A = this chain, B = another copy of it.
Amino acid sequence: MSASATASNARPGGRPRDGAIDHVVREAARRLLAERGYRALTFETLARETGVPRSMIYRRWPTKTHLANEIAVGGEASFADVIAGGGLEPQMAGLIRQIFARYQVASIAAASVGVIADTQGDRALQAELRGEAEAINRAALRGIVAAGQQAGTIRMDVDGDVLFDMIVGGIVYRTLFSLQPAPSEYVADYTRRIVASIAAPAPPVLSPRQDD
- A113-167, CB < 8 A from B: 113-114, 116-122, 130, 134, 157-159, 162-163, 165-167
Interchain CB contact under 8 A, A165 and B173: yes
Identify which of B113, B114, B170 contacts A169 (C-beta below 8 A).
B170
User: Quick check: is A48 within 8 A (CB to CB) of the other chain?
Assistant: no
| Centre residue among A36, A169, A177 by max chain B CB count within 10 A | A169
Interchain CB contact under 8 A, A121 and B36: yes
Identify which of B134, B171, B189 contacts A159 (C-beta below 8 A).
B189
**Interface digits, A190-207 against B, CB 8 Å rule (1 contact, 0 not)?**
101110111000101111
A interface size (C-beta, 8 A):
52
Q: Which residue of chain B is the closest to A206 with respect to CB atoms?
A: B205
Once A170-B170, A197-B193, A208-B205 are accepted as A-B contacts, the answer to whether A117 and B114 lie under 8 Å apart by CB is yes
User: Quick check: is A47 within 8 A (CB to CB) of the other chain?
Assistant: no
